Structure 1
Protein backbone atom coordinates (compact mmCIF):
# COMPACT_ATOMS: atom_id res chain seq x y z
CA UNK A 1 0.00 0.00 0.00
CA UNK A 2 1.62 3.36 -1.00
CA UNK A 3 2.68 5.77 1.59
CA UNK A 4 0.47 8.79 2.25
CA UNK A 5 -2.75 7.13 1.05
CA UNK A 6 -5.32 7.21 3.73
CA UNK A 7 -8.02 4.67 3.45
CA UNK A 8 -11.38 5.72 4.99
CA UNK A 9 -12.87 2.95 6.78
CA UNK A 10 -16.56 3.24 7.34
CA UNK A 11 -17.92 2.45 10.67
CA UNK A 12 -21.34 1.60 9.13
CA UNK A 13 -22.53 -1.87 9.32
CA UNK A 14 -23.34 -3.67 6.08
CA UNK A 15 -27.05 -3.27 6.81
CA UNK A 16 -26.65 0.48 7.26
CA UNK A 17 -24.71 0.75 4.01
CA UNK A 18 -27.46 -1.08 2.16
CA UNK A 19 -30.09 1.22 3.70
CA UNK A 20 -28.07 4.29 2.65
CA UNK A 21 -27.88 3.10 -0.96
CA UNK A 22 -31.61 2.42 -0.94
CA UNK A 23 -32.29 5.95 0.31
CA UNK A 24 -30.01 7.37 -2.38
CA UNK A 25 -32.06 5.46 -4.97
CA UNK A 26 -35.30 6.85 -3.56
CA UNK A 27 -33.92 10.39 -3.71
CA UNK A 28 -32.90 9.89 -7.35
CA UNK A 29 -36.38 8.53 -8.13
CA UNK A 30 -38.00 11.52 -6.43
CA UNK A 31 -35.73 13.88 -8.37
CA UNK A 32 -36.78 12.22 -11.60
CA UNK A 33 -40.48 12.52 -10.60
CA UNK A 34 -39.98 16.19 -9.71
CA UNK A 35 -38.36 16.77 -13.09
CA UNK A 36 -41.37 15.09 -14.75
CA UNK A 37 -43.77 17.21 -12.73
CA UNK A 38 -41.87 20.33 -13.71
CA UNK A 39 -42.03 19.37 -17.38
CA UNK A 40 -45.79 18.68 -17.06
CA UNK A 41 -46.30 22.04 -15.34
CA UNK A 42 -44.38 23.77 -18.11
CA UNK A 43 -46.59 22.02 -20.71
CA UNK A 44 -49.75 23.06 -18.89
CA UNK A 45 -48.43 26.60 -18.61
CA UNK A 46 -47.96 26.66 -22.37
CA UNK A 47 -51.53 25.41 -22.85
CA UNK A 48 -52.85 28.10 -20.50
CA UNK A 49 -50.99 30.76 -22.45
CA UNK A 50 -52.41 29.40 -25.69
CA UNK A 51 -55.91 29.38 -24.20
CA UNK A 52 -55.51 32.95 -23.02
CA UNK A 53 -54.45 33.98 -26.52
CA UNK A 54 -57.45 32.13 -27.98
CA UNK A 55 -59.79 33.84 -25.50
CA UNK A 56 -58.37 37.23 -26.45
CA UNK A 57 -58.82 36.39 -30.13
CA UNK A 58 -62.43 35.39 -29.46
CA UNK A 59 -63.04 38.67 -27.63
CA UNK A 60 -61.51 40.59 -30.53
CA UNK A 61 -63.63 38.65 -33.04
CA UNK A 62 -66.76 39.18 -30.93
CA UNK A 63 -66.13 42.91 -30.97
CA UNK A 64 -65.76 42.76 -34.76
CA UNK A 65 -68.97 40.72 -35.07
CA UNK A 66 -70.87 43.18 -32.88
CA UNK A 67 -69.55 46.04 -34.98
CA UNK A 68 -70.61 44.25 -38.17
CA UNK A 69 -74.08 43.63 -36.73
CA UNK A 70 -74.42 47.32 -35.86
CA UNK A 71 -73.26 48.25 -39.35
CA UNK A 72 -75.87 45.88 -40.81
CA UNK A 73 -78.61 47.43 -38.65
CA UNK A 74 -77.51 50.92 -39.70
CA UNK A 75 -77.55 49.84 -43.34
CA UNK A 76 -81.06 48.38 -42.96
CA UNK A 77 -82.32 51.60 -41.35
CA UNK A 78 -80.71 53.62 -44.12
CA UNK A 79 -82.36 51.41 -46.75
CA UNK A 80 -85.75 51.82 -45.07
CA UNK A 81 -85.32 55.59 -44.95
CA UNK A 82 -84.24 55.60 -48.59
CA UNK A 83 -87.32 53.57 -49.59
CA UNK A 84 -89.61 55.96 -47.70
CA UNK A 85 -87.91 58.93 -49.33
CA UNK A 86 -88.29 57.30 -52.75
CA UNK A 87 -92.00 56.69 -52.13
CA UNK A 88 -92.51 60.28 -51.00
CA UNK A 89 -90.60 61.53 -54.03
CA UNK A 90 -92.75 59.39 -56.33
CA UNK A 91 -95.95 60.76 -54.75
CA UNK A 92 -94.62 64.31 -55.04
CA UNK A 93 -93.79 63.71 -58.69
CA UNK A 94 -97.30 62.36 -59.31
CA UNK A 95 -98.86 65.36 -57.55
CA UNK A 96 -96.67 67.71 -59.55
CA UNK A 97 -97.68 66.00 -62.78
CA UNK A 98 -101.37 66.33 -61.89
CA UNK A 99 -100.88 69.99 -61.01
CA UNK A 100 -99.06 70.57 -64.30
CA UNK A 101 -101.92 69.00 -66.24
CA UNK A 102 -104.48 71.18 -64.44
CA UNK A 103 -102.35 74.26 -65.05
CA UNK A 104 -102.02 73.37 -68.72
CA UNK A 105 -105.77 72.91 -69.02
CA UNK A 106 -106.41 76.22 -67.27
CA UNK A 107 -103.94 78.09 -69.45
CA UNK A 108 -106.38 78.19 -72.35
CA UNK A 109 -109.34 79.38 -70.27
CA UNK A 110 -110.47 82.99 -70.46
CA UNK A 111 -112.20 83.86 -67.17
CA UNK A 112 -114.04 86.74 -68.80
CA UNK A 113 -116.01 84.19 -70.83
CA UNK A 114 -117.52 82.72 -67.69
CA UNK A 115 -118.93 85.48 -65.56
CA UNK A 116 -120.97 87.73 -67.82
CA UNK A 117 -124.26 89.53 -67.53
CA UNK A 118 -125.78 86.94 -69.85
CA UNK A 119 -126.21 84.67 -66.82
CA UNK A 120 -128.79 86.93 -65.17
CA UNK A 121 -131.14 84.11 -64.18
CA UNK A 122 -128.52 81.86 -62.52
CA UNK A 123 -129.09 80.63 -58.98
CA UNK A 124 -126.16 82.34 -57.23
CA UNK A 125 -126.72 85.75 -55.67
CA UNK A 126 -123.27 87.07 -56.63
CA UNK A 127 -120.52 86.28 -59.10
CA UNK A 128 -118.16 85.59 -56.17
CA UNK A 129 -120.39 82.70 -55.06
CA UNK A 130 -120.46 81.36 -58.61
CA UNK A 131 -116.69 81.57 -58.86
CA UNK A 132 -116.30 79.68 -55.59
CA UNK A 133 -118.53 76.84 -56.80
CA UNK A 134 -116.82 76.89 -60.20
CA UNK A 135 -113.40 76.50 -58.55
CA UNK A 136 -114.61 73.65 -56.31
CA UNK A 137 -116.14 71.68 -59.19
CA UNK A 138 -113.14 72.23 -61.42
CA UNK A 139 -110.74 71.00 -58.73
CA UNK A 140 -112.80 67.81 -58.38
CA UNK A 141 -113.30 66.77 -61.99
CA UNK A 142 -111.15 69.16 -64.02
CA UNK A 143 -114.13 70.22 -66.13
CA UNK A 144 -115.57 73.70 -66.58
CA UNK A 145 -117.72 73.59 -69.70
CA UNK A 146 -120.87 72.29 -68.00
CA UNK A 147 -120.57 74.48 -64.90
CA UNK A 148 -120.26 77.90 -66.51
CA UNK A 149 -124.04 78.19 -66.80
CA UNK A 150 -124.21 78.34 -63.01
CA UNK A 151 -122.23 81.59 -62.75
CA UNK A 152 -124.37 84.75 -62.55
CA UNK A 153 -123.70 88.40 -63.08
CA UNK A 154 -123.36 90.67 -60.07
CA UNK A 155 -126.71 92.27 -60.83
CA UNK A 156 -128.65 89.08 -61.57
CA UNK A 157 -131.45 88.01 -59.24
CA UNK A 158 -131.11 84.59 -57.64
CA UNK A 159 -133.40 81.89 -59.00
CA UNK A 160 -135.66 80.06 -56.50
CA UNK A 161 -134.18 76.64 -57.35
CA UNK A 162 -131.42 75.12 -55.26
CA UNK A 163 -128.34 75.19 -57.48
CA UNK A 164 -126.35 72.68 -55.41
CA UNK A 165 -127.67 69.54 -57.20
CA UNK A 166 -126.75 71.14 -60.51
CA UNK A 167 -123.19 71.74 -59.34
CA UNK A 168 -122.84 68.17 -58.11
CA UNK A 169 -124.03 66.53 -61.33
CA UNK A 170 -122.40 68.99 -63.70
CA UNK A 171 -119.42 66.73 -64.33
CA UNK A 172 -121.13 63.31 -64.22
CA UNK A 173 -120.45 61.27 -67.39
CA UNK A 174 -123.51 60.80 -69.61
CA UNK A 175 -125.66 63.46 -67.91
CA UNK A 176 -126.26 66.85 -69.52
CA UNK A 177 -126.84 69.86 -67.30
CA UNK A 178 -129.10 72.20 -69.27
CA UNK A 179 -130.52 74.12 -66.32
CA UNK A 180 -131.09 77.81 -67.19
CA UNK A 181 -130.77 76.91 -70.88
CA UNK A 182 -133.48 77.00 -73.55
CA UNK A 183 -134.34 73.39 -74.36
CA UNK A 184 -137.06 71.31 -76.03
CA UNK A 185 -138.18 68.67 -73.53
CA UNK A 186 -139.62 66.52 -76.34
CA UNK A 187 -136.45 66.59 -78.42
CA UNK A 188 -135.75 62.86 -79.00
CA UNK A 189 -134.11 60.81 -81.77
CA UNK A 190 -135.46 57.28 -82.32
CA UNK A 191 -132.92 56.66 -85.09
CA UNK A 192 -130.04 56.96 -82.59
CA UNK A 193 -131.18 55.54 -79.23
CA UNK A 194 -127.81 56.22 -77.56
CA UNK A 195 -127.36 59.66 -79.13
CA UNK A 196 -127.03 62.93 -77.27
CA UNK A 197 -130.68 63.88 -77.79
CA UNK A 198 -131.75 60.88 -75.67
CA UNK A 199 -129.18 61.14 -72.87
CA UNK A 200 -130.40 62.01 -69.34
CA UNK A 201 -130.37 65.68 -68.48
CA UNK A 202 -131.19 68.21 -65.80
CA UNK A 203 -133.38 71.08 -66.95
CA UNK A 204 -134.88 74.18 -65.37
CA UNK A 205 -135.94 77.77 -65.83
CA UNK A 206 -137.73 80.56 -64.02
CA UNK A 207 -139.63 81.20 -67.27
CA UNK A 208 -140.65 77.78 -68.63
CA UNK A 209 -143.19 79.29 -71.02
CA UNK A 210 -140.33 80.75 -73.08
CA UNK A 211 -137.26 78.74 -72.05
CA UNK A 212 -138.70 75.20 -71.85
CA UNK A 213 -140.32 74.20 -75.12
CA UNK A 214 -143.13 71.63 -74.73
CA UNK A 215 -142.98 71.85 -70.92
CA UNK A 216 -145.96 70.30 -69.08
CA UNK A 217 -145.88 73.09 -66.46
CA UNK A 218 -145.62 76.78 -67.41
CA UNK A 219 -147.22 78.66 -64.50
CA UNK A 220 -143.92 79.46 -62.80
CA UNK A 221 -140.35 78.24 -62.25
CA UNK A 222 -139.99 74.59 -63.29
CA UNK A 223 -136.97 72.35 -62.63
CA UNK A 224 -136.35 68.61 -62.92
CA UNK A 225 -134.59 65.61 -64.47
CA UNK A 226 -135.45 64.05 -67.85
CA UNK A 227 -134.97 60.49 -69.17
CA UNK A 228 -135.97 58.91 -72.49
CA UNK A 229 -137.17 55.29 -72.85
CA UNK A 230 -137.77 53.40 -76.10
CA UNK A 231 -139.99 50.32 -76.54
CA UNK A 232 -139.68 47.79 -79.37
CA UNK A 233 -142.38 45.64 -80.92
CA UNK A 234 -142.06 41.90 -81.53
CA UNK A 235 -140.20 42.59 -84.75
CA UNK A 236 -137.51 44.49 -82.85
CA UNK A 237 -138.52 47.87 -84.23
CA UNK A 238 -138.89 50.89 -81.95
CA UNK A 239 -142.52 51.96 -81.99
CA UNK A 240 -142.94 53.91 -78.71
CA UNK A 241 -140.72 56.65 -77.29
CA UNK A 242 -141.51 57.81 -73.75
CA UNK A 243 -140.18 60.94 -72.06
CA UNK A 244 -140.29 60.94 -68.25
CA UNK A 245 -139.69 64.07 -66.16
CA UNK A 246 -138.91 63.86 -62.44
CA UNK A 247 -139.90 67.27 -61.10
CA UNK A 248 -137.74 68.82 -58.38
CA UNK A 249 -139.48 72.24 -58.26
CA UNK A 250 -142.13 73.44 -57.55
CA UNK A 251 -143.47 70.01 -56.50
CA UNK A 252 -140.57 67.72 -55.61
CA UNK A 253 -141.23 64.13 -56.66
CA UNK A 254 -143.99 64.76 -59.20
CA UNK A 255 -143.57 62.62 -62.34
CA UNK A 256 -144.59 63.66 -65.84
CA UNK A 257 -144.82 61.31 -68.82
CA UNK A 258 -145.44 61.74 -72.54
CA UNK A 259 -145.26 58.98 -75.19
CA UNK A 260 -144.71 59.27 -78.94
CA UNK A 261 -146.33 56.63 -81.19
CA UNK A 262 -144.05 56.00 -84.17
CA UNK A 263 -146.84 54.35 -86.16
CA UNK A 264 -149.34 57.14 -85.59
CA UNK A 265 -146.67 59.87 -85.65
CA UNK A 266 -148.21 61.58 -82.64
CA UNK A 267 -147.58 62.44 -78.98
CA UNK A 268 -150.22 61.25 -76.52
CA UNK A 269 -149.75 64.28 -74.27
CA UNK A 270 -148.36 64.93 -70.80
CA UNK A 271 -149.73 63.08 -67.78
CA UNK A 272 -148.57 63.90 -64.27
CA UNK A 273 -148.67 62.03 -60.97
CA UNK A 274 -147.39 63.18 -57.60
CA UNK A 275 -145.31 60.99 -55.27
CA UNK A 276 -146.40 63.04 -52.27
Structure 2
Protein backbone atom coordinates (compact mmCIF):
# COMPACT_ATOMS: atom_id res chain seq x y z
CA UNK A 1 0.00 0.00 0.00
CA UNK A 2 1.29 3.43 -0.87
CA UNK A 3 2.17 5.68 2.03
CA UNK A 4 2.82 9.35 2.48
CA UNK A 5 5.23 10.56 5.13
CA UNK A 6 4.22 13.91 6.61
CA UNK A 7 6.83 14.05 9.38
CA UNK A 8 9.82 12.11 10.60
CA UNK A 9 7.65 10.50 13.27
CA UNK A 10 4.55 9.77 11.24
CA UNK A 11 3.56 7.83 8.14
CA UNK A 12 -0.05 7.81 6.99
CA UNK A 13 -1.79 5.71 4.33
CA UNK A 14 -2.21 7.55 1.04
CA UNK A 15 -5.67 8.40 -0.29
CA UNK A 16 -4.33 8.50 -3.83
CA UNK A 17 -6.02 11.64 -5.17
CA UNK A 18 -9.45 10.59 -3.99
CA UNK A 19 -12.14 13.25 -3.71
CA UNK A 20 -13.26 13.72 -0.11
CA UNK A 21 -16.04 15.92 1.27
CA UNK A 22 -15.45 16.83 4.92
CA UNK A 23 -18.28 18.61 6.72
CA UNK A 24 -17.78 20.69 9.85
CA UNK A 25 -14.33 21.53 8.53
CA UNK A 26 -14.09 25.04 9.97
CA UNK A 27 -13.13 23.81 13.43
CA UNK A 28 -12.50 20.87 15.74
CA UNK A 29 -12.50 17.33 14.42
CA UNK A 30 -13.56 18.35 10.91
CA UNK A 31 -10.70 20.85 10.69
CA UNK A 32 -8.16 18.19 11.73
CA UNK A 33 -9.77 15.66 9.41
CA UNK A 34 -9.59 17.97 6.39
CA UNK A 35 -5.91 18.67 6.98
CA UNK A 36 -5.03 15.02 7.51
CA UNK A 37 -7.00 13.79 4.49
CA UNK A 38 -5.23 16.38 2.34
CA UNK A 39 -1.84 15.37 3.73
CA UNK A 40 -2.69 11.78 2.82
CA UNK A 41 -3.23 12.75 -0.81
CA UNK A 42 -6.95 13.48 -1.06
CA UNK A 43 -8.49 16.44 -2.82
CA UNK A 44 -10.50 17.84 0.07
CA UNK A 45 -13.77 19.71 -0.29
CA UNK A 46 -14.06 21.49 3.07
CA UNK A 47 -17.63 22.35 4.06
CA UNK A 48 -19.03 24.52 6.83
CA UNK A 49 -21.26 27.51 7.45
CA UNK A 50 -18.30 29.75 8.34
CA UNK A 51 -16.76 31.01 5.12
CA UNK A 52 -13.91 32.96 6.79
CA UNK A 53 -12.74 29.94 8.79
CA UNK A 54 -12.95 27.73 5.70
CA UNK A 55 -10.85 30.13 3.65
CA UNK A 56 -8.21 30.16 6.38
CA UNK A 57 -8.21 26.35 6.47
CA UNK A 58 -7.89 26.02 2.70
CA UNK A 59 -5.09 28.58 2.67
CA UNK A 60 -3.23 26.58 5.32
CA UNK A 61 -3.67 23.29 3.47
CA UNK A 62 -2.52 24.77 0.19
CA UNK A 63 0.41 26.36 1.98
CA UNK A 64 1.50 22.88 3.01
CA UNK A 65 1.46 21.84 -0.65
CA UNK A 66 -1.76 19.84 -0.36
CA UNK A 67 -5.07 20.29 -2.14
CA UNK A 68 -8.33 21.74 -0.88
CA UNK A 69 -11.28 23.87 -1.87
CA UNK A 70 -14.05 25.28 0.29
CA UNK A 71 -17.81 25.32 -0.14
CA UNK A 72 -19.95 27.22 2.32
CA UNK A 73 -23.21 25.41 3.02
CA UNK A 74 -25.97 25.02 5.59
CA UNK A 75 -26.44 21.28 5.81
CA UNK A 76 -29.97 21.64 7.14
CA UNK A 77 -30.89 23.12 3.75
CA UNK A 78 -31.78 20.65 1.00
CA UNK A 79 -30.90 23.22 -1.66
CA UNK A 80 -27.46 23.79 -0.11
CA UNK A 81 -26.83 20.05 -0.04
CA UNK A 82 -27.80 19.74 -3.71
CA UNK A 83 -25.52 22.65 -4.58
CA UNK A 84 -22.63 21.16 -2.60
CA UNK A 85 -22.85 17.82 -4.38
CA UNK A 86 -23.30 19.44 -7.80
CA UNK A 87 -20.38 21.83 -7.38
CA UNK A 88 -18.13 19.01 -6.20
CA UNK A 89 -19.04 16.63 -9.02
CA UNK A 90 -18.90 19.42 -11.63
CA UNK A 91 -15.38 20.30 -10.54
CA UNK A 92 -13.95 16.86 -9.77
CA UNK A 93 -16.23 14.40 -11.54
CA UNK A 94 -16.94 12.20 -8.53
CA UNK A 95 -17.05 11.88 -4.75
CA UNK A 96 -15.03 9.00 -3.29
CA UNK A 97 -15.25 9.77 0.43
CA UNK A 98 -17.95 11.46 2.49
CA UNK A 99 -16.93 12.43 6.01
CA UNK A 100 -20.05 13.44 7.94
CA UNK A 101 -18.40 15.34 10.78
CA UNK A 102 -20.55 18.42 11.43
CA UNK A 103 -22.57 18.17 14.62
CA UNK A 104 -24.02 19.93 17.64
CA UNK A 105 -24.01 19.18 21.36
CA UNK A 106 -26.95 19.90 23.68
CA UNK A 107 -24.90 21.07 26.65
CA UNK A 108 -26.03 18.19 28.87
CA UNK A 109 -29.55 19.66 29.19
CA UNK A 110 -31.72 17.14 31.04
CA UNK A 111 -34.88 15.69 29.52
CA UNK A 112 -37.32 17.84 31.51
CA UNK A 113 -35.44 20.96 30.41
CA UNK A 114 -35.10 19.89 26.75
CA UNK A 115 -37.41 21.92 24.54
CA UNK A 116 -38.91 20.71 21.29
CA UNK A 117 -36.77 23.33 19.55
CA UNK A 118 -33.53 21.99 21.03
CA UNK A 119 -34.48 18.39 20.24
CA UNK A 120 -35.39 19.26 16.65
CA UNK A 121 -32.22 21.31 16.16
CA UNK A 122 -30.00 18.45 17.33
CA UNK A 123 -31.74 15.96 15.08
CA UNK A 124 -31.76 18.34 12.10
CA UNK A 125 -27.98 18.79 12.26
CA UNK A 126 -26.76 15.50 13.74
CA UNK A 127 -29.09 13.10 11.95
CA UNK A 128 -31.24 14.52 9.17
CA UNK A 129 -28.37 16.45 7.55
CA UNK A 130 -26.24 13.28 7.54
CA UNK A 131 -29.11 11.29 6.04
CA UNK A 132 -29.79 13.87 3.32
CA UNK A 133 -26.16 14.45 2.33
CA UNK A 134 -25.44 10.73 2.29
CA UNK A 135 -28.44 10.12 0.05
CA UNK A 136 -27.27 12.88 -2.27
CA UNK A 137 -23.82 11.30 -2.59
CA UNK A 138 -24.79 7.62 -2.67
CA UNK A 139 -26.13 7.40 -6.27
CA UNK A 140 -22.79 8.43 -7.74
CA UNK A 141 -20.90 6.04 -5.47
CA UNK A 142 -23.23 3.18 -6.39
CA UNK A 143 -22.85 3.95 -10.09
CA UNK A 144 -19.06 3.60 -9.76
CA UNK A 145 -19.32 0.63 -7.41
CA UNK A 146 -17.11 2.24 -4.79
CA UNK A 147 -17.45 4.73 -1.98
CA UNK A 148 -16.51 5.37 1.64
CA UNK A 149 -18.69 7.01 4.28
CA UNK A 150 -17.15 7.97 7.61
CA UNK A 151 -19.62 9.25 10.19
CA UNK A 152 -18.61 10.90 13.44
CA UNK A 153 -20.74 9.28 16.12
CA UNK A 154 -19.85 9.31 19.84
CA UNK A 155 -19.49 7.22 22.95
CA UNK A 156 -23.01 8.60 23.43
CA UNK A 157 -23.99 6.24 20.60
CA UNK A 158 -23.65 3.42 23.13
CA UNK A 159 -23.78 4.78 26.67
CA UNK A 160 -25.47 7.54 28.65
CA UNK A 161 -23.69 10.56 30.08
CA UNK A 162 -21.92 11.86 26.98
CA UNK A 163 -24.57 14.50 26.56
CA UNK A 164 -28.17 15.21 27.32
CA UNK A 165 -31.06 13.16 25.88
CA UNK A 166 -31.20 15.02 22.57
CA UNK A 167 -27.49 14.51 21.87
CA UNK A 168 -27.44 10.92 23.11
CA UNK A 169 -30.50 9.96 21.07
CA UNK A 170 -29.12 11.65 17.95
CA UNK A 171 -25.80 9.82 18.23
CA UNK A 172 -27.56 6.49 18.82
CA UNK A 173 -29.43 7.25 15.59
CA UNK A 174 -26.17 7.91 13.70
CA UNK A 175 -24.75 4.57 14.78
CA UNK A 176 -27.92 2.79 13.72
CA UNK A 177 -27.92 4.61 10.40
CA UNK A 178 -24.26 3.69 9.80
CA UNK A 179 -24.98 0.01 10.39
CA UNK A 180 -28.02 0.09 8.14
CA UNK A 181 -26.00 1.69 5.34
CA UNK A 182 -23.44 -1.10 5.64
CA UNK A 183 -26.21 -3.70 5.59
CA UNK A 184 -27.90 -2.25 2.51
CA UNK A 185 -24.93 -1.20 0.38
CA UNK A 186 -21.85 -3.11 1.53
CA UNK A 187 -22.17 -5.69 -1.24
CA UNK A 188 -22.41 -2.84 -3.74
CA UNK A 189 -18.99 -1.42 -2.93
CA UNK A 190 -19.92 1.08 -0.23
CA UNK A 191 -18.14 1.04 3.12
CA UNK A 192 -19.87 2.88 5.95
CA UNK A 193 -18.28 3.13 9.40
CA UNK A 194 -18.32 5.48 12.35
CA UNK A 195 -15.78 6.95 14.75
CA UNK A 196 -17.04 7.18 18.33
CA UNK A 197 -15.07 9.80 20.28
CA UNK A 198 -15.16 10.37 23.99
CA UNK A 199 -14.50 13.85 25.34
CA UNK A 200 -12.63 15.94 22.78
CA UNK A 201 -11.30 19.45 23.31
CA UNK A 202 -13.03 21.51 20.62
CA UNK A 203 -14.83 24.83 20.50
CA UNK A 204 -17.99 22.94 21.40
CA UNK A 205 -16.55 21.48 24.63
CA UNK A 206 -13.81 23.92 25.65
CA UNK A 207 -15.98 25.76 28.17
CA UNK A 208 -16.93 22.53 29.95
CA UNK A 209 -13.33 21.32 30.01
CA UNK A 210 -11.97 24.62 31.29
CA UNK A 211 -13.43 23.99 34.76
CA UNK A 212 -10.97 21.62 36.42
CA UNK A 213 -13.40 21.03 39.31
CA UNK A 214 -16.31 19.90 37.14
CA UNK A 215 -17.51 16.31 37.29
CA UNK A 216 -16.87 15.97 33.55
CA UNK A 217 -13.19 16.87 33.81
CA UNK A 218 -12.78 14.62 36.84
CA UNK A 219 -14.40 11.75 34.94
CA UNK A 220 -12.15 12.29 31.92
CA UNK A 221 -9.01 12.44 34.06
CA UNK A 222 -9.97 9.09 35.58
CA UNK A 223 -9.94 7.21 32.25
CA UNK A 224 -6.95 5.01 31.35
CA UNK A 225 -5.55 7.60 28.94
CA UNK A 226 -5.62 10.19 31.74
CA UNK A 227 -6.65 13.03 29.45
CA UNK A 228 -9.28 14.20 27.01
CA UNK A 229 -8.71 13.86 23.29
CA UNK A 230 -7.44 16.40 20.82
CA UNK A 231 -9.16 16.61 17.41
CA UNK A 232 -6.16 14.96 15.77
CA UNK A 233 -6.65 11.85 17.91
CA UNK A 234 -10.05 11.38 16.28
CA UNK A 235 -8.97 12.47 12.80
CA UNK A 236 -6.26 9.78 12.75
CA UNK A 237 -8.89 7.06 13.12
CA UNK A 238 -11.21 8.76 10.63
CA UNK A 239 -8.34 8.69 8.14
CA UNK A 240 -7.76 4.98 8.72
CA UNK A 241 -11.43 4.24 8.05
CA UNK A 242 -11.26 6.20 4.79
CA UNK A 243 -8.32 4.18 3.44
CA UNK A 244 -8.09 0.71 1.95
CA UNK A 245 -6.43 -0.42 5.18
CA UNK A 246 -10.00 -0.61 6.56
CA UNK A 247 -11.31 -2.47 3.52
CA UNK A 248 -12.89 -5.28 5.59
CA UNK A 249 -14.65 -2.95 8.03
CA UNK A 250 -18.37 -2.44 7.48
CA UNK A 251 -20.82 -0.90 9.95
CA UNK A 252 -18.23 -0.58 12.70
CA UNK A 253 -18.37 1.93 15.52
CA UNK A 254 -14.75 2.49 16.52
CA UNK A 255 -14.38 3.73 20.10
CA UNK A 256 -11.75 6.45 20.43
CA UNK A 257 -12.44 7.41 24.02
CA UNK A 258 -9.18 6.99 25.94
CA UNK A 259 -10.68 3.95 27.64
CA UNK A 260 -13.73 5.79 29.00
CA UNK A 261 -16.04 2.84 28.29
CA UNK A 262 -13.82 -0.01 29.46
CA UNK A 263 -15.83 -0.29 32.65
TM range (shorter): under 0.3
Q: Which protein is bigger by CA-based radius of gyration?
A: 1
TM-score where L is the length of structure 1: 0.22
Higher RCO, 1 vs 2 (CA within 8 Å, ≥6 residues apart): 2
